[in-house]
C-alpha cells in the first residue's frame, strides 16, 4: 500500500508530500489544474514513461513509500534481486534536464523494467485509455486469465507453442529437392575423398618444413664436400697424386742436401694427411647422402597441403576438423530422408503437446468465463444497470493456433432486456464502458492482488443515479483497499474518505500546481462547485452538504 508520495520540481508541481492510508482518496479541481500530475508522478514511480522535468536546471524527484507486508509477490521479486527490506520500501526516481534518469529501490539502483515488474505487484492503475483497451481481444483475454489465475497454464501453452514452432521451422528448413540433395552429397563426397586420400597428420606441415630445411643444409654440405673430394682425388691432377709426385721427386734428391730430405718428409706427411682427409670426407659423405628424391617428395607434399589449405583450412588441424565436418554432413545428407522423418515426427509430438496444453487452458478459461461473467453482471447491476448482462464467450478455434492458445475470447454485452448479446465494442456507450471497466476492476480487486487501486476519471460519461452508484462502489472498495481517484463527479468527490483539491496558480513567468487537503467546510464548497452553476450558491451548498452527509452516515 502506498503510504507516502513526495514530489519535487515535477512539471508544474514545485513540492508535494501526501500521507496516504486505506480508504477512498479523491482529487478534484478545475480542468487543466493538474489533477493528473499526481497520477503521472505515481506512474513514474511504477516505471512509466512520463514528461517529468519542470524545464529548469534542477532535477525532478519522485519518491514513494510502500508497505509491502501483505504483498508476497513484491517480497519474492525483491528477494530475487537481493534487495533487503523490513516490510517497507522506498522507490525513488530522479529525472535530469539532459534526459538521464536514476532509479532506486531502498537505495539500490534498478532498471526501469525492474520498476515496472515491481509496480505490477503494488498498484493497479487505470487511465482514461483503458476503457478503449477493454474492447480489444488481447485485453479481454488477459483479463480472463488474470481472473482465473491461469499464469501457469498460459506460460505452459506459450512454451509448448514456441517449441512446436521451432521444430516446424527446423523441419521446413530441411526441405530440399532431390537434385539439391544429390549436389550436396557430391560436394561433401569430393571433400572427404580429397582429404582422406591426402592422409594428413596433425603437425605434418611443420615437420615437413623442418625436414626440408635440414635436407637443404645437408645438400649444401654434400656439394661442398664433393668439391673438396674432387680437389683431393681427381686422378693424376688431384692434390693427393700431385703430393705423391712431388714427394717422389724430393726423395730422388735424398743425400744431396739436408734440406731435400726435410722437404721429402714434409711432402710425405702432407700426402698422408690429405689421404686421411679424403677418407674422412668420403665417410661423412656416405652418412649424409640420403634418398636423393626425398627433397622432391617433400616439396610435392607441401604443395599438396598448400593446395588443400586454400579450400579447407590454414593448418592441418583445421583441415582435419573440416574432414570430420564433411564426413558428418555427408552422412547426414545420405540419411536425409531418415532425418526428415525424424523431424516430422518431432513436429507432430510437439504439436500434440501444444494442443494438449491449449486444451487444458481452454477448459480452465471456460470455467473462469462463467464465474467472471456472473461477477461482472452483478457489479453492473449495482451501477444502475439493472438489466445489464455480460457473457464471456470462449470459442475453440482448432485451426488458429497461437502462443495464447486456440481460443477466441469475446466479451458479449447487452444493456437492456430484449436486446441480443453483442460484442462489447459494438454496443457499449462511453458511460457503459466506464461502468464496465469499474465493474471489472472491482471483481479483480477482490482477488487481493494489490492493495492500491488508482482510477483516472473512471466516472467519465456517467452522471445522476449512475454516478451515485459508481461513488458507492468506489467507497465500498476503499473499506479494504487504498483507492485513489481523479474525478469530476460531485457524487464521487463526496464519497471520498479523504479529499484533495488541485489548484493552479499562474503569474507572468510560470504556472504552478499545488494539492490542498480539504476540511469539511472546504469540501462542501468544492462539491457545490462540482454540482454546477445552474443552481444558486446556497442551494448547491445544501445539496453538497446533504450528499456528503449521506456518505458519512454509511458505515466506513
Q: Is residue 437 included in any domain, yes or no?
A: no
Q: What share of the chain is helix, strand, coil (3-state, %, to 5)?
A: 60, 15, 25
| Mean pLDDT per 10-residue section of the chain, whose length is 556 residues | 92 89 92 84 87 70 92 91 92 89 93 92 79 85 92 96 95 79 88 91 86 81 79 79 82 75 84 84 74 81 90 90 92 82 93 97 96 92 88 94 95 89 82 83 76 86 84 89 92 94 83 89 91 72 90 72
> Is 230 a member of any domain?
yes
pLDDT of residue 289: 63
In a domain, 324, yes or no: yes
C-alpha cell at 404: 495464447
**13: in domain:** no
Instruction: Find the domain containing 276 and state its range.
Output: 183-331
* Chain centroid, CA 221 distance in Å: 69
Q: Domain count of the chain? A: 1
pLDDT at 92: 94
Q: Look at residue 406 in the predicted model and tell me its pLDDT.
A: 96
Q: Are 481 and 451 in contact (CB under 8 A)?
A: yes
Within a domain: 267: yes
Asked whether 436 and 376 are in contact (CB, 8 A), the reply is yes
Q: Which residue has the cell 530440399?
A: 176
pLDDT at 246: 83
Tell whether 226 is covered by a domain.
yes
The answer to whether position 419 is within a domain reads no
Distance CA 212, CA 296 (A): 9
For residue 221, tell me if it sits in a domain: yes
Give me the pLDDT at residue 144, please. Answer: 94
Strand partners, 282: none
Q: At what angle do helices 178-198 and 316-334 cross, to 10 degrees?
A: 140
pTM: 0.66
pLDDT score for 556? 47
How far, in Å, CA of 414 to CA of 55, rounded?
A: 48
Rounded Cα distance, 495 and 476, in Å: 9
pLDDT in the model for residue 213: 85
Q: Map grid coordinates 492458445 to a residue.
A: 405
Q: What is the pLDDT of residues 203-261, one digit of tens each?
A: 888 888 888 888 888 778 877 878 887 788 877 778 888 888 888 877 888 766 778 77
DSSP designation for 549: H
Amino acid at each position: 500500500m502506498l503510504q507516502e508520495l513526495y514530489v519535487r520540481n515535477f512539471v508544474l508541481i514545485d513540492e508535494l508530500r501526501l500521507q496516504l492510508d486505506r480508504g477512498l482518496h479523491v482529487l478534484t479541481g478545475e480542468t487543466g489544474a493538474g489533477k493528473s500530475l499526481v497520477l503521472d508522478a505515481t506512474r513514474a514511480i511504477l516505471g512509466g514513461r512520463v514528461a517529468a522535468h519542470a524545464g529548469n536546471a534542477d532535477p525532478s524527484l519522485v519518491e514513494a513509500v510502500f508497505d509491502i507486508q501483505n504483498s508476497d509477490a513484491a517480497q519474492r521479486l525483491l528477494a530475487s534481486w537481493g534487495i533487503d527490506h523490513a516490510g517497507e520500501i522506498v522507490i525513488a526516481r530522479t529525472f535530469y534536464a539532459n534526459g538521464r534518469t536514476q532509479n532506486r529501490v531502498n537505495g539500490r539502483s534498478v532498471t526501469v523494467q525492474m520498476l515496472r515488474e515491481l509496480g505490477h505487484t503494488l498498484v493497479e492503475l487505470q487511465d482514461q485509455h483503458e476503457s478503449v483497451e477493454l474492447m480489444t481481444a488481447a485485453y479481454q483475454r488477459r483479463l480472463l486469465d488474470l481472473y482465473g489465475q491461469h499464469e501457469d497454464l498460459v506460460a505452459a501453452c506459450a512454451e509448448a507453442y514456441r517449441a512446436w514452432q521451432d521444430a516446424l521451422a527446423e523441419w521446413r528448413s530441411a526441405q530440399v529437392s532431390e537434385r539439391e540433395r544429390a549436389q550436396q552429397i557430391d560436394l561433401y563426397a569430393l571433400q572427404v575423398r580429397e582429404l582422406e586420400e591426402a592422409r594428413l597428420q596433425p603437425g605434418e606441415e611443420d615437420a615437413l618444413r623442418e625436414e626440408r630445411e635440414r635436407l637443404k643444409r645437408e645438400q649444401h654440405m654434400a656439394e661442398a664436400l664433393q668439391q673438396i673430394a674432387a680437389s683431393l682425388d681427381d686422378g693424376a691432377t688431384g692434390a693427393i697424386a700431385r703430393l705423391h709426385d712431388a714427394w717422389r721427386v724430393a726423395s730422388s734428391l735424398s743425400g744431396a742436401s739436408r734440406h731435400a730430405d726435410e722437404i721429402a718428409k714434409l711432402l710425405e706427411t702432407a700426402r698422408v694427411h690429405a689421404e686421411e682427409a679424403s677418407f674422412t670426407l668420403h665417410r661423412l659423405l656416405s652418412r649424409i647422402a640420403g634418398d636423393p628424391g626425398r627433397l622432391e617428395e617433400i616439396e610435392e607434399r607441401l604443395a599438396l597441403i598448400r593446395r588443400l589449405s586454400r579450400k579447407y583450412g590454414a593448418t592441418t588441424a583445421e583441415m582435419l576438423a573440416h574432414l570430420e565436418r564433411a564426413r558428418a554432413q555427408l552422412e547426414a545428407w545420405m540419411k536425409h530422408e531418415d532425418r526428415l522423418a525424424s523431424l516430422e515426427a518431432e513436429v507432430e509430438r510437439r504439436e500434440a503437446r501444444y494442443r494438449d496444453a491449449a486444451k487444458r487452458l481452454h477448459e480452465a478459461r471456460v470455467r473462469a468465463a462463467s464465474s467472471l461473467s456472473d461477477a461482472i453482471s452483478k457489479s453492473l447491476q449495482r451501477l444502475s444497470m439493472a438489466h445489464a448482462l455480460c457473457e464471456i464467450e470462449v470459442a475453440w478455434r482448432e485451426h488458429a493456433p497461437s502462443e495464447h492458445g486456440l481460443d477466441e475470447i469475446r466479451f458479449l454485452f447487452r444493456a437492456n432486456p430484449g436486446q441480443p448479446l453483442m460484442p462489447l465494442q459494438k454496443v457499449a456507450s462511453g458511460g457503459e464502458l466506464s461502468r464496465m471497466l469499474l465493474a471489472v476492476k472491482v471483481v479483480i480487486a477482490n482477488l487481493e492482488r494489490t492493495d492500491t487501486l488508482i482510477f483516472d476519471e473512471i466516472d467519465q460519461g456517467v452522471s445522476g443515479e449512475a454516478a451515485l452508484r459508481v461513488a458507492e462502489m468506489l467507497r465500498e472498495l476503499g473499506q479494504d483497499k487504498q483507492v485513489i481517484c481523479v474525478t469530476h463527479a460531485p457524487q464521487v468527490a463526496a464519497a471520498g474518505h479523504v479529499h484533495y483539491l488541485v489548484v493552479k496558480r499562474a503569474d507572468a513567468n510560470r504556472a504552478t500546481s499545488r494539492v490542498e487537503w480539504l476540511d469539511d467546510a472546504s469540501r462542501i464548497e468544492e462539491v457545490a462547485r462540482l454540482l454546477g452553476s445552474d443552481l444558486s450558491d446556497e442551494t448547491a451548498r445544501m445539496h453538497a452538504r446533504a450528499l456528503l452527509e449521506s456518505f458519512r452516515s454509511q458505515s466506513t
